[in-house]
């Protein structure tokens, strides 16, 4: 059933066909999903509690198809926090939500000023115009695309994320650091 998310994730619309009619509904949404690394949930944990076999882990991960994962821009592994850290009242030195919100709003304003829409909605042509890369950065991206076996769609999505990282930092140009950071957010595809 998860696979039906592929169409709205890509087009922002959902088409329903019934016997006599076909309806299109708007369906632009932000998907946030979580899964365990393996059936027991402890794979990669320092306490070595996981005894899942490689085959079990693979079968478990196959519940999310490659094409669906490909449509998720940020894929991160989040390690368990040590108990002592979870009990701390707050994370000292961490930014507040209000500060982060200001930065996000400024980045969105840059996107709307440039193209009248969010980076995620850029067409392939707009992407090529707004995400020009120097030759070093281009080489970095094409090597990574090879190593991670990125699809054309995956590559475009990495570029859009790199564009947003540059916007968050207030930069007009996308640097190799921005592309490298965007690539780091594809951890699960790389696994």
Q: Is 115 exposed, middle or buried (0-12, 13-18, 19+ CB in 10 A)?
A: middle
Single out the segment in contact with Zn ion by CB under 5 A; choices: 22-30, 34-42, 77-85, 105-113.
Answer: 34-42
Does 69 participate in binding Zn ion (rule CB under 5 A)? no
Does 104 participate in binding Zn ion (rule CB under 5 A)? no
59 vs 153 by CB, closer to Zn ion: 59
Single out the segment in contact with Zn ion by CB under 5 A; choices: 21-29, 36-44, 100-108, 155-163.
Answer: 36-44
In this structure, are residues 74 and 161 in contact, taking their beta carbons and an 8 Å threshold? yes
60 vs 67 by CB, closer to Zn ion: 60
HSE on the CB side for 54, CA within 13 Å?
1
Which of 5, 14, 27, 43 is the binder for Zn ion (CB under 5 A)?
43
The Cα 101–Cα 12 span in angstroms is 24
Does 50 participate in binding Zn ion (rule CB under 5 A)? yes
Single out the segment in contact with Zn ion by CB under 5 A; choices: 32-40, 92-100, 138-146, 182-190.
Answer: 32-40
The Cα 160–Cα 130 span in angstroms is 9
- The distance of closest approach from Cβ of residue 77 to Zn ion in the complex, given in angstroms and rounded to an integer, is 14
The Cα 11–Cα 28 span in angstroms is 8
The Cα 142–Cα 138 span in angstroms is 6
Does 52 participate in binding Zn ion (rule CB under 5 A)? yes
In this structure, are residues 115 and 130 in contact, taking their beta carbons and an 8 Å threshold? yes
Residue with tokens 């478990």, as numbered in its chain: 60
- Which residues, in sequence order, are bridge partners of residue 15? 24
- The distance of closest approach from Cβ of residue 49 to Zn ion in the complex, given in angstroms and rounded to an integer, is 8
- The distance of closest approach from Cβ of residue 37 to Zn ion in the complex, given in angstroms and rounded to an integer, is 7
Which of 5, 14, 27, 40 is the binder for Zn ion (CB under 5 A)?
40
Which of 8, 9, 38, 163 is the binder for Zn ion (CB under 5 A)?
38
Tell me the number of residues near Zn ion by CB under 5 A: 5
Q: Is 4 exposed, middle or buried (0-12, 13-18, 19+ CB in 10 A)?
A: exposed
Binding site for Zn ion (CB under 5 A): 38, 40, 43, 50, 52
């Amino acid at each position: 059933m998860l696979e039906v998310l592929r169409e709205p994730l890509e087009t922002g619309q959902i088409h329903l066909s019934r016997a006599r009619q076909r309806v299109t509904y708007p369906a632009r949404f932000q998907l946030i999903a979580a899964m365990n690394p393996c059936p027991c949930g402890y794979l990669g944990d320092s306490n070595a509690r996981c005894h899942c076999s490689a085959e079990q882990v693979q079968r478990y991960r196959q519940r999310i198809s490659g094409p669906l994962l490909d449509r998720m821009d940020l894929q991160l592994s989040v390690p368990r926090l040590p108990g002592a850290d979870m009990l701390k009242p707050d994370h000292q030195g961490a930014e507040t939500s209000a500060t982060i919100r200001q930065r996000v709003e400024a980045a969105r304003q840059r996107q709307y000023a440039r193209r009248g829409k969010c980076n995620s909605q850029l067409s392939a042509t707009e992407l090529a115009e707004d995400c020009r890369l120097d030759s070093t950065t281009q080489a970095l991206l094409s090597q990574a695309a090879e190593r991670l076996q990125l699809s054309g769609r995956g590559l475009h999505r990495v570029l859009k994320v790199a564009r947003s990282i540059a916007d968050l930092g207030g930069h007009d140009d996308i640097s190799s650091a921005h592309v490298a950071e965007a690539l780091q957010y594809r951890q699960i595809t790389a696994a």
